[in-house]
Structure formats: C-alpha cells, structure tokens
Copies of this chain bind each other. A is one copy, B any other.
C-alpha cells in the first residue's frame, strides 16, 4: 500500500485580545492580517516543522508554538500517520496581535481537518493553548479563541474551558497600528497591579456587560461607550510611545473606540463602516509618521469565520 499524502493550506488570522474593557476574556478576529500555513500528512509518524518563512523561529517541534500545539492534538488522536508543517509568518512575534496564537490555532485546525475533524473548536482551543503556553509562560485563550471561532469571543473560563461566540455587527472594521518596537510580555504583565479599586472593577464589568449587549443589539453608540479600560490601559499605555496621541486622533477621526491590542505595542481602533475606518487609518498614519518610529498600519473587516482554508 502506497501512502498518498494530503495537504491543507490555510490562512491563520491575527487577533485583538482584551478589547479595552475585557482584559483576559474578550477578543476579536482580523480578516486581512495573518499567517499562512501548509500542512501535509506523512507516512512517517510525528510532527515536523519543515519550513518557516518571515521570521526566525525555532524548527524543533517542542520549542515551536505551532509544533507544541500540534503535538498536543497528535498525542491525543494517536494517528498512524505524521504531519509536516510549513509556516509563512506575516505576524511579527511580540506585536500584540496574537502572533503565537495564529501559529497554534492554524496548526491544530489543519491537523483536525486532515484527520477528518474529530475535534470541535473548544477542543482545538485547548490543544492550541498548550502551544501558546510556551510563548507566554501561561495558558491563555483570549487570542486563540477568536482565531479559531472567528468574530468576537468571550472566554468565560479556562477550567473548564468555555468559549462564548458573540455576534459580530456587520459594519464593524478595525484599524491596527503596530509600532515596530518590542515590549516584553513579562514587562507588560509585571506592570499590572495585583489589586484594583472596587469602583474601577465595577466600571469594567459594567462595560463588559454593555459591550456584550451592544454586540447582540447592533448598538454602535453603546459599543463605543463600552470601549473603555480603567484598569489596564492606564498602566500599559505608558509602555507604548504616543499612545494618547494616537487614541485622540482615532477618536477625533470618528473611531468608536481605541485601545491596546493584547499586551501591546499594537493599538486597535474599532470603526463603523469602511469609510470611517479609512479616515481613522489616515489620521493615525499622519500622527505616527511624525514620531520617527517605524510602524505598520492595517485596516481589516472583523473576520467572522476565523481560520480559513485556502486550498486542500
């Protein structure tokens, strides 16, 4: 019997975690920003990373985020075959838009497809979290969940893992500024206080509840007024050069809200409609061009689908 290799090529999206008010629980998925991955079945058992383009990342399966995530699924499924993974990385590691989550989500999604979809999206999220853990030293799902489920997600709990798929208003666009500076995840974690004022916490959970209601009711004004972060942004924004100026420019240009994407340094804005998003993008472009800091600027519809198959 000769082995007939199958393959899948997919787009694994960048994601925005926290979404201002929802630190550690909310996230949404981008559409035009992400990695490509090509995964092939092999008659030789095991998981091998056979190509990495774009950024310098480890080839050893156990040290690579996509590799570790794939291994978690592989060791559970115990298939008679192996897999070879090629990663075409477009999302810079450390950008704050879910670079490692894209790698982890993409590899488990691909393996699941090639094995005939034995796992549901929550199970895939759990496997992908094992990969994410080697990048962030702890298991998170706030980027992986939107990458796999698409749209807006709320990670209700990690143990047991429970992901809620929130509705995604159709006219919602994101603008993401990525200043080309590095903030260590350890630093952006260390800067956070261990305790918060009760009245600030109340404001935050009022905003989380309001944001979920706004998504269900297509209420863009309510969404806008819910996109506030009185807990994390006051600390982390200090690590991002010109954060306040960018936020002001975005809001003045008509953004519904603007905040730190994940642990930064990327800054996201949410906008109603593509025209508004273009205006916001232009104003941020003008503002950041004068800082002397290199940057990338993305405009993207919210991706309601998550990881997408390009061909198989």
A residues with CB within 8 A of B? 21-26, 154-157, 162, 164, 166, 192-198, 201-202, 204-213, 216, 222, 225-226, 231
Contacts and interface: CB of A to CB of B under 8 A. Distances in A.
B192 A195 contact: no
B202 A154 contact: no
Number of identical protomers: 2
Given A209-B211, A213-B216, A216-B213, A24 B196 contact: no
B23 A210 contact: no
Contacts of A204: 201, 205
A166 B214 CA distance: 11
15 contacts: A23-B202, A23-B205, A156-B210, A157-B206, A162-B225, A164-B213, A164-B222, A195-B196, A201-B204, A204-B205, A205-B208, A208-B209, A209-B212, A212-B216, A213-B216
A29 to B, nearest CB: 17
A156 to B, nearest CB: 5
- How would you classify the secondary structure of chain A's contact residues: helix, strand, loop or mixed? mixed
Contacts of A212: 209, 212-213, 216
A209 B162 contact: no
B202 A25 contact: yes
Contacts of A162: 222, 225
A210 B226 CA distance: 16
B156 A206 contact: yes
A25 B26 CA distance: 20
Nearest to A203: B157
Contacts of A206: 24-25, 154-157, 208
Contacts of A198: 192-196, 231
A154 B210 contact: yes
Nearest to A21: B205
A213 to B, nearest CB: 5
A205 B201 contact: yes
A46 B216 CA distance: 44
Contacts of A21: 205
A230 to B, nearest CB: 11
Contacts of A192: 198
Given A192-B198, A201-B196, A204-B205, A213 B25 contact: no
Nearest to A214: B164
Contact of A154 (B193, B209, B225, B231): B209
Given A24-B206, A157-B225, 5 more contacts: A154-B210, A156-B210, A157-B206, A196-B198, A201-B231
Nearest to A164: B213
Contacts of A26: 209
A166 B196 contact: no
* Most central of A194, A204, A207, A210 by chain B CB within 10 Å: A210
Contacts of A156: 206-207, 209-210, 222, 225-226
A207 B209 CA distance: 9
Nearest to A211: B209
A204 B194 CA distance: 15
